[in-house]
């Protein structure tokens, strides 16, 4: 079973992520702050998803994830008009930054890539 951890405080997206993961047989754990996200890295996830509009310093969390695990795939999502934030996320260590709409459309494929 694939393991995915996520940083997001948007309940709507948490539910969408959980439901899609359940359908695919992917285990997902969600943190609402950076420290909790770092704790979830102990489960050796294959993918980290970060809501770049989270209120809990997502860029800081990405940098810390990169310090601990340079080999893990990090996908961030945000509003499509936030180009500066997208650039900052990539500089912090995001492998891929997607507009929220594209992230939602491709969520099943993104999660499937984390399967064993």
79 versus 38: which is more confidently predicted? Answer: 38
What is the rounded average pLDDT of the residues 77-87?
A: 90
pLDDT value, residue 115: 83
Q: What is the pTM of this model?
A: 0.94
pLDDT at 21 over 70: yes
- Contact between residue 93 and residue 62 where contact means Cβ atoms under 8 Å apart: yes
Mean pLDDT of 30-50: 94
Is residue 77 within 8 Å of 99, Cβ to Cβ?
yes
Q: Go through the domains of the chain in sequence order and give each one's CATH number.
A: 3-112 (3.40.50.2300)
Kindly state the average pLDDT of the residues 74-83: 91
Band of the pLDDT at 116, cuts 50, 70, 90?
low
């Amino acid at each position: 079973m694939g393991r995915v951890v996520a940083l997001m405080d948007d309940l709507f997206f948490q539910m969408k992520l959980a439901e899609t993961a359940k359908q695919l047989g992917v285990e997902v754990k969600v943190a609402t702050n950076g420290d909790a996200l770092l704790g979830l890295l102990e489960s050796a996830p294959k993918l980290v998803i970060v809501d770049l509009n989270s209120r809990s310093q997502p860029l800081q969390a990405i940098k810390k994830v990169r310090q601990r695990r340079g080999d893990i795939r990090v996908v961030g999502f945000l509003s499509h008009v936030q180009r500066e934030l997208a650039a900052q996320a990539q500089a912090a260590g995001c492998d891929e930054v997607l507009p929220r709409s594209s992230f939602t459309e491709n969520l099943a494929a993104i999660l499937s890539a984390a399967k064993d």
